[in-house]
Structure 1
Amino acid sequence: MKALLTTLFLLPLMLMAQNTACKCCTDTHKAFDFWVGSWVVTNADGSPAGNNTIVKEEGGCVLRENWTSASAGFTGTSLNFYNQQSNQWEQLWIDNSGNHLKLKGNRTGDQMILSSDEFTHTDGESYINRITWTHNQDGTVNQLWEVLQNNEVKQVLFNGLYRRDQ
């Protein structure tokens, strides 16, 4: 009787484990894998920007970013995941200065393009943050953070090149 109860209790758990073992193994879930790794990041002018490590966690369902800026004392982290309900990638960035940024979007070709919702700046105008990660043929990744107004680029906040940390 004890063996039967144990089997009846464990069988649903084993079936759940089998059904969820590869929940995030689709090509869509792997669309941002080109960013996974340890990186040395430089600004567009070649000066050091910082170091970034992106790892897959939670059975491959989450990409966690850990950023350390070349500017002393500035760090941040992001959680990135594919939201099956909205059919979009989402990112939540939080840094040690208390700032946060929420983005969403998808991969198009060799680019992951994520944008914020529209927000009102202190100047009273409405803007959108757009960050594009481009997977280059040589294995590097370019990250371009732009601020847009009416679909027009108003400012580039960051343009960095990621090279794998050897």
Structure 2
Amino acid sequence: MENDLRKITLFVCLVALCASAPALAQNAAPCSDERARQLDFWLGEWDLTWQGGEGTNEITRRFGDCVIEENFSGNMPAGLFIGHSVSVYSTALEQWRQTWVDSQGSYLVFTGGIGEDGVMRLRGESTLKPDGRTQDTRMSWLNVEGDSLDWHWEQSFDGGETWSMVWLIHYQRR
């Protein structure tokens, strides 16, 4: 009798497990959304060049492929500049979110995505400069090819009506 009870209990557990499998499949991880793959072109190991400097950037997926992690290192006139970012796609907000920190003490937050022009852009939070002006910043990935791309860092002092180039980095895949 005790053996029959174990068999029935095991059978009920197996049926419950099989019945829950479709529900688990329907609740796929948010990072499985195809939009969470929009930055995959950026993944890899890169050699970087810009006017007056050079560096490297390593972009990987982490934490179950849900987070894109960036590790930047560059030779600047003032010395070695190191930065780190994490980027995730928020299905709730339907946009990308990035947090950047670096060896100069910066902590920057960006949001954005692919615009109507097909360009991936992330825009930073507005900051008040010492002279009283409000500065907006954004980054854009342009001229994306299999083994190269250009990354633009721009600023605006008129609420984003016009943008001026601050830093253009050319990426070449290793």
Fold-level match, TM-score > 0.5? yes
Structure 1 counterpart of 2:153, from 145, 148, 162: 145
Structure 2 counterpart of 1:62, from 58, 67, 71: 67
User: What secondary structure does 2:61 align onto?
Assistant: strand
What letter is aligned with 1:98? Answer: G
Q: Where does structure 2 lack aligned partners over 5 or more consecutive residues? A: 1-5
1:50 and 2:55 aligned: yes
- Map of 1:105 onto structure 2: 112
Deviates more, 1:103-112 or 1:51-60: 103-112
Change (3 A) 1:7 1:75: farther
- Map of 1:125 onto structure 2: 133
Question: What displacement does 1:10 show?
Answer: 7.0
> How do 1:24-35 and structure 2 match up within 5 A?
24-35=31-42
Identity of aligned residues (%): 24
> Residues 108 and 125 of structure 2 are in contact (CA less than 8 Å); yes or no, is this contact kept in structure 1?
no
User: What secondary structure does 2:41 align onto?
Assistant: helix
Q: Deviations over 1:90-124 (max 9, x none)?
A: 11001122211111111135521010122211111
Change (3 A) 1:14 1:75: farther
Give the number of equivalent residue pairs: 162
**In 1: Cα distance, 2:141 partner to 2:22 partner:** 38
> Residues 105 and 113 of structure 1 are in contact (CA less than 8 Å); yes or no, is this contact kept in structure 2?
yes
Change (3 A) 1:8 1:133: same
**In 2: Cα distance, 1:65 partner to 1:16 partner:** 34
- Map of 2:98 onto structure 1: 91
- TM-score, length-scaled by structure 1: 0.81
Structure 2 counterpart of 1:115, from 114, 123, 135: 123
**In 1: Cα distance, 2:140 partner to 2:87 partner:** 14
- The structure that has the greater radius of gyration is 2
**In 2: Cα distance, 1:119 partner to 1:13 partner:** 49
Question: What displacement does 1:8 show?
Answer: 9.0
What letter is aligned with 1:50? Answer: G
> Residues 76 and 94 of structure 1 are in contact (CA less than 8 Å); yes or no, is this contact kept in structure 2?
yes
Change (3 A) 1:138 1:57: closer
Q: Deviations over 1:30-69 (max 9, x none)?
A: 11111000000000x4x54210000011222110000111
**In 2: Cα distance, 1:120 partner to 1:141 partner:** 31
